Structure 1
Amino acid sequence: MNSTEFFFVSTVLLIFVILPFSISVTLDAITPNQPLREDDVLLSPTKIFALGFFKPGNSRNRYIGVWYNKIPIKTIVWIANRENPIVPTAGTGLLAIHGDHGGLVIYGEDQNNPIWSANLTVSSPINSVIAKLLDTGNLVVEINGEKVWEGFDYPTNTMLPSMKLGLDRRSGLNWFLTAWKSQDDPGMGNCSYRIEPTESPQGFLYMGQTPLWRSGPWTGERWSGVPQMENKIFFNITFVNDQDELSIMSSIVYESIFEKMVIDESGNVERSAWQDEVHKWAKHWSAPDGQCDFYGKCGPNSICDPYPKFADKFECNCLPGFEPKLQHEWYLRDWSGGCVRQEGSSVCQNGEGFMKLERLKLPNTSTARVNISMSREACKEECLRNCSCTAYANADERQGGSGCITWHGDLMDTRTYLDTGQDLYVRVHANVSAQHEKKSNSSFGKKMKLGVSVACGLLFFLLFSLACWLVKRKRNGKRSQDKFLASTSWEDSSATTNIDESGINSELPFFELSTIVKATNNFASNNQLGTGGFGSVYKGALDNGKEIAVKRLAKNSGQGIGEFKNEVVLLSKLQHRNLVRIIGCCVQDEEKMLIYEYLPNKSLDFFIFAKEVFLDWIRRFEIICGIARGILYLHQDSRLRIIHRDLKASNVLLDSAMNPKISDFGMARIFGAEQIEANTNRVVGTYGYMSPEYAMKGLFSVKSDIYSFGVLLLEIVTGRKNIGYYHDSPYSNLVGHVWDLWKENRALEIIDSSLGESYPVNEVLRCIHIALLCVQEQAKDRPLMSAVVFMLGNDVAIPSPKQPGFLLKRGYHTSGDPSSNTDGAYSINDMTYTEAEGR
């Protein structure tokens, strides 16, 4: 062999020797014959998670960890050897099945002494042992398909869906989270979050041994101190408390959502979801959040109120029957000493009772006693019989409340909420109860009462003068309101003969302009919720704490005055859980405003089009049914037959529980009992939701709203707006595109991609089928809303739909801009308009 041949053979041999050690391998399992090396990656079945070696931050140490494989930002969610890293001097790492006992181990350079072990000994043959990564992120060891060890039994700083926190009472495993020491060191830090296994379990966040935050007890659906758990759009919660285990676990409704709860080194717990559009984790809950969240902020026997009604009031107050232990420190805002019983108000005497405090996070239940089968009245009697009992409450808040919790001793870490929370009954002496009742019934103290008695004649004169002035002002205001009402004419008044033309429903309150100005902080820009052709909508709060939404008609608006009166009259006469509720109005000077209930979750289009928040199918279907019930009420069940004429996604608002409420009745029309159809020379509404006969001829009826509902139903199912451009369809709107796919049995292709495959196919197809019935070209072919509600709620035979009415065809425009339409009705995308002439 010459030198050239020798060099060639040597090179080939060298490549074959080095190649196996320099190329990374993607594994689907670790077996006794297939370990995981430093450059290898173990993937879950659908490649959601990956497991491998990593270096945290600026550290040179290596760890075995699990991270999201489909997220560009490497997010570590679990670590095997967080306390036993592979240091730089330890050589190459290896994750393997131990050859002798079959357990999972991590080796450094010395493969006789593992750096980390799963503490598992297998009696079965070693070749039957396999380690794999599940799509939940759980690393498991199995023998013949049976799970014998899992990483989720040893959480680190992250809680994933399907991971439990709590206690396995059979094995003694304690599932809790601990923060990293630092960003460079994932070892067990000083902060932890765990579930305390007392009679009334609750979660505690600790800094060392010091509690930082408390979740409150379990109420049947959520932690008492975590009202955000009521919103179950993203995940469901499973809570178990029996002889085998105490645990809480969340499960994601839709698998493509990546969600996690993390405890960080500073002592914060944060729940967040991955937003692919902006490539970041978006926080949707954290604790502690605000001063009243910190454990024992106000000391024992006190209550923390983050929403004091007056600026000069402290957030800390003593519970009824208690007073500050150290008054001078209390005035210096040092509340750590808390409160003690008022002198002369000791309990366990005749005539004592309980004072009810509402909307609270219940006090610490670590030493509380629980009887889950006891009624509230029996709970009260039980507490009265025991002199050490200081308060009681329901253990379960569902279905009006049940079960009994009693506290014995100090009441620690209680706080208030605005619109949620539980009731607490605090034991008080009889004179304390009488004092509070007396205080609530009168705003005068003893000195003021004495002054009143001395100057009663003068006060009577002043009150009489004030009353005369108020009557005069009210009359002037009424004349101003009547003048406004008389100046606005009804469109096609022949159709409104059943409305009292003398004015607005007398039961609807008129608000003073000063009240609204105060409630909205003088219409501050940070309180503005949105704008439209009519003007702007502002968020506000009345003096009693009630949140409101104020629709302010623009002074220079050329439209909206008639619609304003229309909406006042209609909403004052309509009451339904799926219709927005009007609280009152304000007509003063040049201002004209409507005051509604405030709905915190914006409008439906924010969820189905903006997609900033995921809406699962269950919630979508509930919204669809709620809208249908609201329309049925308008068309059939209310004392007036109402045609909305502007039903669209932005006019469906969502309350805190995601219940839909139809809004914006400015364009609505009232029909007589026997009236079927009407004609108008002024077409109003939103193009894309209008029925063909209305947009082209000005003809409207209940079937016009049915058409709009069909369009809205398709938008909810598909997550797309009706007005768009679909290159693979001869029509440029959603209705036409769905019709094409329906005829070809391809309707599932148009379903919102964010739903993935987590929806009932038959139910979704039935919704599309119903929607196509609603958008049929001929009004007579469309079902009534009563039939729609029945079809939505029952799996019955449904007739085949006929061709829909199309308003946007490809021949009308080619630019993809609906505004370029030169034939048919006007198109202004998703704006409501009032000036188009009917054809």
Structure 2
Amino acid sequence: MHNNSLLNSLILLLLTFSFCSCSSDTISIHKPLRDGELLVSKSKTFALGFFTPGKSTSRYVGIWYYNLPIQTVVWVANRNILHHNLSTIPIWSTNVSFPQSQRNSTSAVIAQLSDIANLVLMINNTKTVLWESFDHPTDTFWFLQSWKTDDDPGNGAFTVKFSTIGKPQVLMYNHDLPWWRGGHWNGATLIGAPDMKRDMAILNVSFLEDDDNYVAFSYNMFAKSVITRVVIQQSGFLQTFRWDSQTGQWSRCWSEPSDECGNYGTCGSNEDGTGGCVRKKGSSVCENGEGFIKVVSLKVPDTSVAVAKSGLSLEECEKECLQNCSCTAYSIADVRNGGSGCLAWHGDLIDIQKLNDQGQDLFLRVDKIELANYYRKRKGVLDKKRLAAILVASIIAIVLLLSCVNYMWKKKREDENKLMMQLNQDSSGEENIAQSNTHPNLPFFSFKTIMTATRNCGHENKLGQGGFGSVYKGSLVNGQEIAVKRLSQNSGQGKEEFKTEVKLLVKLQHRNLVRLLSCCFEKEERMLVYEYLPNKSLDLFIFSKHLSNSLIVSLIKTKGHHWIGANVLKLCGIARGVLYLHQDSRLKIIHRDLKASNVLLDAAMNPKISDFGMARIFGDDDEIQAITKRVVGTYGYMSPEYAMEGRYSTKSDVFSYGVILLEIIAGQRNTHSETGRASLNLIGHVWTLWTEGRALDTVDPALNQSYPSAIVLRCIQIGLLCVQENAINRPSMLDVVFMLANEIPLCPPQKPAFLFNGSKYLQESSTSGGGSSVNEVTETTISAR
């Protein structure tokens, strides 16, 4: 039973329009909080009051940093209740019981805001805590649940919490499905958040776990002046931020999952994302001669099925696991002071990932044949009679190898110096590659090496033709397959694009960007060496009718009823690649030539964005857009503001992405440029069908209606949102990733840009072919409607 008088004292009332300032840190039944007033903690670190998030018209009760210029909300009371108008109706209540002994002393109940952002309801004279906001967090540490959107702090799709099944561990859920696993606390860090280990020098971390499955985790900065926060984003990322007083912005420290391999169970059972860790069983379940091999630096498997025992040494842990035929692997539970305790897994191993030097060792059970091979590789089996001869031969081989390495090092230095000298002679005045120090680990291939690998760039090895040269398939002496872009010697723009692409790609590392392996600048030749992607480019599949059906089915068809599941859509891969360029890389990069032919596909049909010759870097974080008189790109993919006015921004790439999305669904190009003139384009056709309620008529007929209509309609709507005529109305790439990953309501699209009905085009190809590129906006007549 609740006491009515107490209940009133537990409610924050919106009584009247009152815009006075309040510096108190306490409220009571006799001193309520009104809209416009604030509770401020004693150290003036946090404030509590009423606020309106983003573009919302609703009012919420929340706590935010008081002394920062950017309102950063860390807690919301009434996050799922919308209130548009001020009234005397209570908008939020703690709804807790009052102690029997204090029911006649309701005036003694106060609510106080502490300096650690905790709103505490207590009995004033005894300091007995009745309720505290720390027991009801929102999206900021530590049972966390994301906001729905920037405008709506209601319960979002993603939550982070400790799972106490088996060995307690941190898990992120997308609705009710595991999305990312932070792993267990191994005494030094959360094993699934390796970047967190870098912050241990400046963090005071406390972790508590008892036999009753009670788990508590807390942290604070050793330097009290440093402000940090941990947030779960609406797009499914757990991130830490540190306030940068010099820039007046939040600076991101780390983010998980850091890539798609970090998502829970991406590679299935017994896999670590690198093709290993599949157990080969012998003739019986538990045969003689079985043992364990060590796999180093892993995110150890899901501990919900692990058995944890304290006090055991590594040798004792091995002995116990070997005696149990169902035990498949073991590892150290606590890595401190040389290691102690035991974690043992029984059955399949789920969610393993290679973590370089930040992970733990996992001891994997194998049969006697595999165990023998393992020790043979480690120790070798040497015949004593041949040992002396082998030692002599080894010494000779080492001497020859050192000589060869010395010669190759000198040759490499000569090639690099030659490249630097030629780039320094460039009359353009632009910073050259050598001066930018962007290639300390990039190997330089000789012209002879590339000619040998590509069979002298023979026609049978040619993969494609672009505006600045051709691309050839090659194979190095070690068997590695490569793709070589050979820039045309008569291309007046080739040198600039060469320098831009090298400078960018050596700095960018992402699973959805093509990887640069090497380059060559020799004998007036300029060559770029990339990883080879066997399935070539996206346009070959979606515009070739005999291939398009299988591709689109693989892009759209999902298992289950959720948009995001174990099979992440390839569309989202392209979007994540562009998001990395815009926001997550060290540089803010505008691609400017995003199109289907510049999206390459690896053996697993994963997309990788290529061709950065036209890309531009924004130097400052607050730089929003730039203007150029030299418009480059491809017809049908350029945004209207860029094509007609030379203005480009991240929203220019969003427009191009929307065109690609619609092309994938329709199986046809946005424009046809074979005659130099664009006919009625795909955007206009899709918009017409959308307004007539016949959007599914857009879908490629080759699919024979073998697709989920709701998902396709959602894709079409997202595509139309991306190609809206006004750049301000287009979503950011972060918004696009979020819309693809969540089944949230979408805004209705506004009129798109029906581009390129003009009468005059310049016929200059883009760097990778597929459409025409334009140059000098003042010389191009383009109309839009």
TM-score, normalised relative to structure 1: 0.45
TM-score, normalised relative to structure 2: 0.48
Work out which of the two has the higher radius of gyration on C-alpha atoms and give 1 or 2: 1
